[in-house]
Amino acid sequence: MKKYRIMFVCLGNICRSPLAHGIFEKLLKDANLDGVVDVESSGTSGFHRGEKPDPRMTGVAASHGVPLDHLRSQQFKKEDLENFDLILPMDRENQEHIKKMMTSKDQKEKVKLFRDYDPEGKGLEVPDPYYGGPSGFEKVYNIAERTCRSLLGDVKPLVV
């Protein structure tokens, strides 16, 4: 059986998208679904290609039991529109960047704003904590955690 594939996307792939990636991997493992859903994250820019997630984000995630050390930044590629079933940009700017790569209606249907799954903020963006203080990273963790839980609820019926 083909695995269901999800890609989380932000700008540099060192804060928001690796956080969602790590949280969703943990939720899948806890639900015994890690064998049927494949999770990746990427950035629309290649600024940080090959780098580990931001240490501030790694620290906040670790304080909640979510490891991110195994992740490395990669750049979103046009082929990802074909290779993934669901592509979730963290904000509209990155969503627009992805839309410019689209060549079919099928691809358009795969791309949804991450917070469209947030029960407390449908249609909102995940703020970029990179230039903010420590509380911004915790805020982003809370947004990503509840959104990933909601996303899991939507994905689970598709894979079991």
Known catalytic residues are 10, 16, 128
At 120, list the tokens: 């407390």
At 77, list the tokens: 């590629």
Residue 142's nearest CA partner among 156, 123, 127, 122 is 127
Among all chains, which residue has been given the structure tokens 């940009």? 89
Strands of the sheet with 4-10, listed across from one edge: 37-43, 4-10, 86-89
Helix or strand or coil: residue 113? coil
CA distance 25 to 52: 17
Element spanning 4, H or E = strand 4-10
One-letter amino acid of 72 = R
- Beta-strand runs (E) in 11-134: 37-43, 86-89
